[in-house]
Amino acid sequence: MTLSRRTMILSALAGSVVSPALARAEVPAMSFPSIDGGMIDLADLRGNPVLVVNTASRCGFTPQYDGLQALHDTYSARGLVVLTVPSNSFNQELASEAEVAEFCELNYNLTVPMTEITPVRGPQAHPFYRWLNDVHGVAPRWNFTKVLLDANGQYVAHFGSTTRPTAPVLTRQIEALLAS
C-alpha cells in the first residue's frame, strides 16, 4: 500500500478525506521571528531537511537540548537544520526571549537556530503549526514535539516528547533524507 493510499484510508477512517496532493503539501511560505533578531524564513531552508522542535526551558524534557545540539553537531555539515521554537503554550517557558537565550547558552551551549517565544497550539498558534494541524492533523501535545521536513519542505514525520533527538527511529529518517 502506498503512503498516499494509506493516508487516504486513515483519513477516511478518521472522518475526513485528505487528497494525496494535500498529504504531500509543502510548508507554505512563512517565517519565524528569530530570537537573535531578524527572521528565519522557511523558504531559505529549502534544500535541507529541517527538524522543527517546540521547546520550553522549565520542562522535564528540557535536557533534550543536549540531543538537539548533538544532532546539529553531527548532521549540520551534511545539511540538517535543527530549528528550535521556544513556546509557552504549555506554561513552561521563561518570561522573555533574553532569558531563554541566556538559559540555553549557559546550560546547553546551544548554537542551533531559535525563534522567539511562539504559540504552537490553539487560535494563536504560529501559521506553521496551524498548517501542520490543518493539513497533517499534527499538533504538539507537549513540549519537545519534533517535526521532520524533507529538503522540499514537505512533512515527513513527527515524534513526541518522549522520543529523544538521537533516538534511532529519528536519526534513521534524518540519515535517509540526507542520503537522498
Active-site positions? 59
Rounded Cα–Cα distance for residues 140 and 78 (Å): 27
- One-letter identity of residue 3: L
Q: Helices 168-179 and 64-75, interaxial angle, to 10°?
A: 20
Judged on CB neighbours under 10 Å (0-12, 13-18, 19+), 91 is exposed
Residue 8 C-alpha cell reads as: 487516504
Instruction: Please return the burial class of 5, using the count of CB atoms within 10 Å of its CB with bins 0-12, 13-18 and 19+.
Output: exposed
Alpha-carbon distances, residue 29 vs 39, 42, 58, 154 (angstroms): 13, 7, 31, 12
DSSP 26: B
For residue 122 the three cell numbers come to 490553539
Contact 173, 163 (CB under 8 A): no
